[in-house]
Chains A and B, each alone.
Chain A
């Protein structure tokens, strides 16, 4: 089985709850987590609904392997309609609460409606209750976490919460669990806050069992762990340097988005890299990195736990930030750092702490600040707007101020909370927003990594690197090296990675395993745990089904082929330096072929044949 076969449905409007069995017919088609929750969402909401209205639903979902001993099997996802993009949102997080929810006996929790007053959901195995959240509403995630732990006197209570940014309507607010892991993208935290739901606190002590073939499962799990341990990326690079091992690599290939993507290389990259996090600081002789850390069940342990220099201007009078906490991932280091032109590790670590403390997506936030800095550079945004702050590229003080204001939802921070697209539109320069479908870019400039252009343009949740990470092939040569500067073959590469990642995101496993694992490693673990026939082929097909289901949601929500594009800067302004100097992204060479390979018509709509083949018709 592996599934608990139990869904908790929470009607926030009525303040009522009910349990129901998992729809196993759908589970056999969509497996779990991303795929299965998307199926529930598609069946239960009108895609054209207001993402922040009572008609939207929010599903917190585990995968069938979540909570088991499979390496990295602690993942959960939040699936809903995004207020940032208007498209389907699916944000995935690690930490420990996903496994805890499974151990309490639930595959997923479906939140419907909107509570008339702030509440939180408390779960202790079979007991689930909505509790007034007046004492934590208006507080940060970290303050809410501390309050809940004190109230229940249980250090192992696992908590996911939204911060002040979400309450104030920041459109890219995240849901933060276990203090510094996050369902980060697409504003899923904004949806949660719009429902007056402050937190979910879970204690599960039942354990996860129901493994179909325990002996085969443990054999497959151990084989998988061995592959991860022996791989250069998952066995060495990630545990040692974290995802920020990429900073120097991506800068060298000229794909480092810098200064709101005006530049493709950042001269300060070496100072904010994963390697730099190990170096003793000049100021106090201690390194930024305190230790690496794992999420539930993870044998990679890419997580960073960092400590800021106590004498640094950002925290010298703020002892609450003197302890160790979640450090910089590559995406945060890039967006908060190179895109804003800031190369001070302590500043970036401080603002990363704030992003976790109050739940904002550092990618969307950093990118929005970078757009604001460009507008300031042009004289469109002025000190009048910022209240006297000089919002210049490279200013640590400006970034710290902007982060504090956005996290608390105060002053100009409310405008930054709109995201890059709405901010640039408001100031009359929509072309300066580095977004697709309203969601900000992650850390790979598609002029130097062509496949990432198609990845961003076609991602179902707006610009995103986790939907098809062609960087693996185009830069790292895994599983096959392709030339990052050519478009040939990229449509096929993108499609196959999109399908594979869609099903990996539906298992309960972490997508970072795919640096080393293929579906050949994953399928035996799923097949041994779950009912149904799960082979690499059937999983890939289920991934394609999920991709098309998400696409159909987006089309029904009003998105069209016109949204499958990139900002003009990336299509018209050539890269100034690096291996891609003189190049733009040639999306037009890839997109028609991609539609064809997908079995979509020229309008990007899945054909009847495709729908029938995938069981969607």
Chain B
């Protein structure tokens, strides 16, 4: 079963536990600046929105890479950056329509979400289940259920 990150912004409190978990897993330090998942704060609206790579099936980044440094992980569906192949040209960061491939000045190559090899730390760290790792066929199902409940006049948590 392929799984996918499901993000429900309305549950996010902006605590950055996901960014801390991500950076610690990937870089060995707690460092939101190097996290693959980012929380965006919309202050005047009072909203916090987590955002990261959705692992497109036909990934723009993968197709755009001139040195084939971005490869499909058959098991998880993630598109992974091969650090020793990437030349840091940043073409993938231009190709990605969502901005979820980023460049790291220190390593001089790009980085992106690799689903932690199939056990994403961000989802485990999130205290409000704003980020969950679910059956890829079921992304959006929680929201659909909530709307279904609303349409039937049932409380969303029933």
Interfacial residues, chain A to chain B (CB-CB below 8 A)? 67-69, 71, 96, 99, 103, 156, 179, 204-209, 225, 229, 239, 290-299, 301, 303, 305-307, 323-325
Contacts and interface: CB of A to CB of B under 8 A. Distances in A.
B25 to A, nearest CB: 10
A324 B17 contact: no
Interface string B28-45: 111111100000000111
B20 A297 contact: yes
A96 B27 CA distance: 20
Contacts, number: 85
Interface residues of B, number: 26
B27 to A, nearest CB: 7
Q: What 8 pairs across the A-B complex have the smallest Cβ distances? A: A207-B31, A323-B44, A207-B29, A324-B46, A294-B15, A290-B46, A299-B127, A205-B33
A292 B14 CA distance: 9
A209 B28 contact: yes
A215 to B, nearest CB: 12
A324 B23 contact: no
Contacts of B27: 207
B125 interface: yes
Given A291-B46, A299-B17, 7 more contacts: A103-B33, A207-B33, A207-B34, A209-B30, A296-B15, A297-B15, A301-B13
B31 A208 contact: yes
A239 B128 CA distance: 10
Given A179-B43, A209-B30, A69 B21 contact: yes
B16 interface: yes
Nearest to B126: A299
Nearest to B44: A323
Interface in B129-147: none
Interface of B: 13-17, 20-21, 23-24, 27-34, 43-48, 125, 127-128
Contact of B23 (A204, A207, A239): A207
Contacts of B28: 209
A205 B29 CA distance: 10
Contact of A69 (B14, B33, B47, B125): B125
A206 B31 contact: yes
Contacts of A294: 13-16
25 contacts: A68-B30, A69-B17, A71-B127, A103-B30, A204-B33, A207-B23, A207-B33, A207-B34, A225-B127, A229-B127, A239-B13, A290-B46, A291-B48, A292-B13, A294-B13, A294-B15, A296-B16, A297-B15, A297-B20, A299-B15, A301-B128, A305-B46, A306-B46, A307-B46, A325-B44
Nearest to A299: B127
A268 B115 CA distance: 51
Nearest to A290: B46
Nearest to B128: A301
A324 B30 contact: no
A353 to B, nearest CB: 12
